[in-house]
Amino acid sequence: MIPEAAAIEAPPSGSLVLRAAAALQRFLSRAATARRERKLRLCETLPLGEKRFLAVVQVNRQQFLVGATANAISLLKELPSATDIASEGPDSASAAR
């Protein structure tokens, strides 16, 4: 004799979808508030040996060339932004070389 299978009632599919959508919305809203925009970014580094390196650091939209040793960090140059280079035009760029 084979025992009868127990009847399993599934929740209505509409309520399951609504609960899943609400949970997803809560998760996404928490993720959006937890995420913050970074203002400081290390763009590139160039090791020079013996605990020395050059780095391009970006703060907001401005970039800086920084030199560092084991004991000090120095601002070497404020780099022109892409909009500054574009506004100077090709003639001034070739004259600077």
Cα torsion angle, 19, 20, 23, 25, sign: negative
Cβ atoms 75, 64 nearer than 8 A: yes
Rounded-to-integer distance, Cα 84 and Cα 86, Å? 5
Query: Structural domain boundaries of the chain?
Result: 40-96
Highest mean pLDDT among 4-13, 15-24, 30-39, 47-56: 47-56
Average pLDDT of span 80-95: 62
Cβ atoms 66, 54 nearer than 8 A: yes
pTM exceeds 0.85 for this model: no
